[in-house]
Structure 1
């Protein structure tokens, strides 16, 4: 394991000191992000059905997050609603188009920006509505491009200045949205610079999600950096978590450099030990789409172990122990 430890030490995240001067952040104006451009960018965010994500409508409505002063007062329903009013209500419950999403993003962004920080603007002090935790989740969901998420991330320091904390659900939503918009490096940047952003990588689930986002299409260096963060945030080491160990081992084999192969071969014994302690039937590949969405880590493990077996075979290394576990778990019938 010395190879992995040395690789982690070379990739330790920076720990710069944050200035005590509060940062003034401009409001997102969408100058270079027209609804048409954002819609085009969003087309590239689709993912394999094995890793499908929640419907965008979950994030569509900011609702009472804006407070009574910002929201439109609802009209009382008539005693006998017309067919037209029923159709209108159905449309309002549907997905937002690009223009509506951008408008709601701008309104919510400005609302949050003016009400957090050490010294909120005078306007917010006169009307001190408290920003709810769910406001961040709605901002993440309304964002349609990496640039918008970056703009939101620049407000994170002000949340800490307001003496507010990040919940595991908020962190998980941020990580997932970064994956959906194909910018997991932004999440890695935030977690790697805690003095600036003040966001903890909370929970094994969020760490796995981020590693899944990075280990296939991004440089191996980023996965190694993430593995170093496990120790900083007191998460189980990569070599102690079955799914994470499999993903980074696969990434090291895929990189194919002498250094990465050294790390991969150093991780193989740890992976073998983890499999020996794990019941194969507990990690059967979920064939039902709903069950698969609930336990995506099972799908990740299925395909990752398949890649590792092929890598071991290509290097003429013993892999019978891995094939036997995959047969008992049913992975062989799904992925070959």
Structure 2
């Protein structure tokens, strides 16, 4: 379970982060805990530059202040830090209930259209900075406190592990769901985010290696157990959505059974409108200067742009290919569900990734987040 840790635009996220750190420092000063006069007592935290205990690499920028503050607050005597996975890989153990500290990763990337412009004009390509925050996982005490404070709504994001053409990673839909959950939680206000159900119903993609698919009844069982567990803890609104449109029919079919499994005072809802979703993508692509006819719904200009925004290093820019173009007829859809997506498109793409940009991806993410928030906010 987590509170939302949004992957927003670099400027917005950076401003929020700096405000957060500044406010924390001001709060300490207003409480009379000036660091230059504070009687720390027997345990004095080191103000050496924080570093990774696994690699020896020093942290930099705002992470130095974040980790200094955490060391001071928790009376740590050193400045060596490990991620959860690093601790396990080194043979260590993380105590049950231990809380991590949120740090950030900053870098730059060059959008495809900027590379093309620079190539055509001979200018130097301009990189765009981005900032991502690592998600903080909550302890059971923090979930309990959030419920007591009125956080009675919980989002259940669903994804898939399936092919997305030769140019996108298998995790596309799960990454999309993670990012949407953060934005929707922000829109709704008092909402928490359950761990994403990362594998979904993708039988029509199994002809492509790497795809993992759950049977519909397995997927429903997982959703059922999520809902009954969360209802037992006191959540009164449980909202499911999927970054994988292929999960929509299964979610729609199971919804009544999920509602029957919990008490009448618990509301369960799921977003299942594929037509509205695709329409929002087309509008967002057009508004960002892209070609809306390149939206097909799978590994197209919308999904490729989303990954250029969310995980730019995962996009194989040299592997863009045109997929099936145009609307699928009912007969073609039935053929795809029966015989797999390769009966429609040889490369697993429906639409066209050419013309994708990170800017289009940001617009698409915001458009679908607004669609979900509006639907769930009724």
Q: TM-score, normalised by structure 2?
A: 0.27
More helix as a share of residues: 1
Please state which structure has a larger fraction of its residues in strand: 2
Query: Higher relative contact order by CA 8 Å / sep ≥ 6: 1 or 2?
Result: 1
Give the TM-score normalised by the residue count of structure 1.
0.29
